[in-house]
């Protein structure tokens, strides 16, 4: 018997007798019926789907099993459809209008284009800007501003009595950013203003006139009392011997932690009753930060 090329169904040979024709037809029909059995059945709207890779192995499935039946456009998407070739487009391409633009949210599920700022600007939050809540702004300077005071005595003299701690008065200023010093009242004091508590660098330079040799003590005073922290003797002073003659100089530099309302003074005490006058002074108080 011969067989078909694709499905190997059995067919009569050309030399078979006519009497064998009925049997051959039944054999062929049975083979076809068996091969096509998976095509039987199904309901309206169903489609054929391959069950395995075996020839003629099919099953009927509903139209939406494993298939996309529709594409709907959501926020930021246009296009879509339920049949044929479907095209969708992201509207980001049209929202951005120039190089450097950014897309920012303007609400729940909404957004818009924020044009690029200018060179050097930074993006900063600003809830007053509607609807973006952000804006381009000029960056703050990275160079910190000076905060502090430089008070001086540039003319006139201040007499110092023997064995008396005398605060150096400073009637003039070079700079005073926040009202640390007053040139008319309590001119010896540097007072820490509200909001400026923290670390301070203090530089002291003072010049004296005297007629004879003397022994002097230079004090740091905090809120009217001698400051006795590290770097000072138990009595709270830095000792210096005045050698006699004019234009002797004393000075030092230190750091302190001060709170708002504190005040400091620089004071001198001399041992003998010889005439000593403070002729020059320059004291700076520089805020280093909290």
Same domain for 221 and 256 = yes
Q: What is the DSSP string of the chain?
A: -EE-TTT--EE--TTS-GGGHHHHHHHHHHHHHHHTGGGS---TT-EEEE-SSSTT-EEEE-TTSSS---B---TTEEE-BSSSS--EEETHHHH--STT-EEEEEETTEEEEE----TTEEEEE-TTSTTTSEEEEEPPPSSPPP-EEEEEE-SS-EEE-BT--EEPP--EEEEESSS---SSSSTT-EEPPTT--EEEEEEEEEEEEESS-EEEEEEEEETTEE--STTS-TTSEEEEEE-SSEEEEEEEEEEEEE-TT-EEEEEEEESS-S-EEEEEEEEEEEEEE-
Note the pLDDT of residue 104: 87
Note the pLDDT of residue 73: 78
Determine, yes or no, domain membership for 256: yes
Domain containing 108: what range?
A: 98-142
Range scoring the smallest mean pLDDT among 141-150, 224-233, 245-254: 224-233
Determine, yes or no, domain membership for 56: no
The residue among 106 and 191 whose pLDDT is bigger is 191
- Is the entire prediction scored with pTM above 0.85? no
Same domain for 285 and 166 = yes
Same domain for 203 and 282 = yes
Same domain for 232 and 159 = yes
Determine, yes or no, domain membership for 153: yes
Q: Which residues contact 118 (CB under 8 A, 6 or more apart)?
A: 136
Best-predicted range by mean pLDDT among 86-95, 115-124, 184-193, 203-212?
184-193
Within 10 angstroms of residue 64's Cβ, the number of other Cβ atoms is: 10
pLDDT at 216 over 90: no
- pLDDT bucket at 213, cuts 50 / 70 / 90: low
Assign 3-class secondary structure to 241-283: EECCCEEEEEEEEEEEEECCCCEEEEEEEECCCCCEEEEEEEE
- pLDDT bucket at 9, cuts 50 / 70 / 90: confident
Determine, yes or no, domain membership for 187: yes
Best-predicted range by mean pLDDT among 22-26, 67-71, 257-261?
257-261
Same domain for 236 and 104 = no
209: domain CATH number is 2.60.120.40
Determine, yes or no, domain membership for 7: no
Before 178, cis peptide (omega within 30)? no
What domain count does the chain have? 2
Note the pLDDT of residue 191: 98
The residue among 283 and 89 whose pLDDT is bigger is 283
What is the average pLDDT across 226-243? 60
Note the pLDDT of residue 242: 57
Same domain for 205 and 281 = yes
Domain end marker among 86, 107, 142: 142
Note the pLDDT of residue 232: 52
Q: Which residues pair with 229 in a beta bridge?
A: none
Note the pLDDT of residue 183: 97
Same domain for 224 and 267 = yes
Same domain for 152 and 247 = yes
Determine, yes or no, domain membership for 74: no
- pLDDT bucket at 238, cuts 50 / 70 / 90: low
Q: Which residues contact 227 (CB under 8 A, 6 or more apart)?
A: 219, 220, 221, 236, 256, 264
Structure tokens at 247: 């234009």
The residue among 36 and 134 whose pLDDT is bigger is 134
Instruction: Share the mean pLDDT of the chain.
Output: 83
Within 10 angstroms of residue 88's Cβ, the number of other Cβ atoms is: 13
Task: State the maximum Cα–Cα separation within the chain, in Å, rounded to a whole number.
Answer: 158
Domain end marker among 142, 176, 204: 142
Domain end marker among 117, 142, 167: 142
Determine, yes or no, domain membership for 90: no
Same domain for 271 and 161 = yes
Note the pLDDT of residue 97: 84
Same domain for 193 and 173 = yes
Per cent of the chain over pLDDT 70 is 87
pLDDT at 19 over 70: no
What is the average pLDDT across 126-144? 86
Same domain for 166 and 227 = yes
Per cent of the chain over pLDDT 90 is 32
Same domain for 246 and 161 = yes
- Closest by CA to 267, choosing from 173, 158, 148, is 158
Determine, yes or no, domain membership for 50: no
pLDDT at 171 over 60: yes
């Amino acid at each position: 018997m011969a067989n078909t090329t694709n499905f190997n169904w059995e067919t009569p040979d050309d030399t078979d007798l006519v009497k064998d024709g009925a049997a051959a037809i039944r054999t062929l029909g049975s083979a076809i019926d068996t091969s096509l059995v998976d095509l039987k059945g199904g309901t309206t709207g169903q489609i054929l789907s391959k069950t395995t890779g075996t020839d003629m192995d099919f099953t009927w499935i509903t139209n939406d099993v494993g298939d996309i039946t529709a594409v709907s456009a959501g926020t930021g998407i246009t296009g879509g459809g339920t049949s044929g070739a479907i095209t969708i487009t992201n509207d980001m391409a049209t929202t951005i209008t120039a190089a450097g633009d950014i897309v920012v949210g303007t609400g729940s599920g909404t957004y818009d284009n924020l044009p690029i700022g200018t060179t050097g600007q930074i993006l900063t939050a600003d809830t007053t800007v509607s609807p973006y809540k952000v804006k381009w702004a000029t960056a703050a300077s990275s160079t910190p501003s000076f905060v502090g005071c430089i008070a001086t005595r540039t003319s006139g003299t201040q007499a110092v009595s023997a064995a008396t701690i005398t605060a150096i008065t400073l009637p003039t200023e070079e700079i005073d950013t926040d009202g640390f010093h007053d040139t008319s009242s309590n001119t010896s004091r540097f007072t820490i203003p509200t909001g400026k508590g923290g670390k301070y660098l203090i530089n002291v330079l003072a010049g004296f006139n005297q007629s004879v040799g003397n022994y002097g003590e230079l004090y740091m005073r905090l809120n009217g009392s001698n400051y006795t922290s590290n770097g000072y003797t138990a009595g709270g002073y830095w000792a210096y011997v005045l050698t006699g003659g004019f234009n002797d100089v004393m000075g030092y530099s230190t750091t302190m932690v001060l709170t708002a309302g504190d005040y400091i003074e620089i004071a001198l005490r001399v041992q003998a009753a010889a005439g000593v006058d403070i002729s020059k002074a320059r004291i700076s108080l520089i805020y280093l930060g909290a």
